[in-house]
Amino acid sequence: MPAPTSPADLFRHSLRLLLDKDIPAWVALWAEDGVMEFPFAPDGWPRRLEGKEAVAAYMRHYPDHIDLH
């Protein structure tokens, strides 16, 4: 697939990667200094992940816990 050329294409591509459970490819879309925020995270869960490495570590077990359809 060619590289996404618009924000909408990139969003659709990232959703496809999540649906396919291709976490390494999904993480590859992130900038090194990217941030993921969870403003409503319950106590004991992260509210903010800083950096591609932190996002990758957080998403590492995603395929084992979530099944999207």
* 41 has pLDDT over 80: yes
Question: Which is higher by pLDDT, 63 or 20?
Answer: 20
Structure token pair of residue 35: 């941030």
In the CATH hierarchy, which top-level class contains the domain 7-65? Answer: alpha beta
Q: Is this model's pTM higher than 0.75 or not?
A: yes
Please tell me what DSSP assigns to residue 2: P
Each residue of 9-28: pLDDT tens digit? 999 999 999 999 999 999 99
Amino acid letter for position 30: W
Structure token pair of residue 6: 């618009």
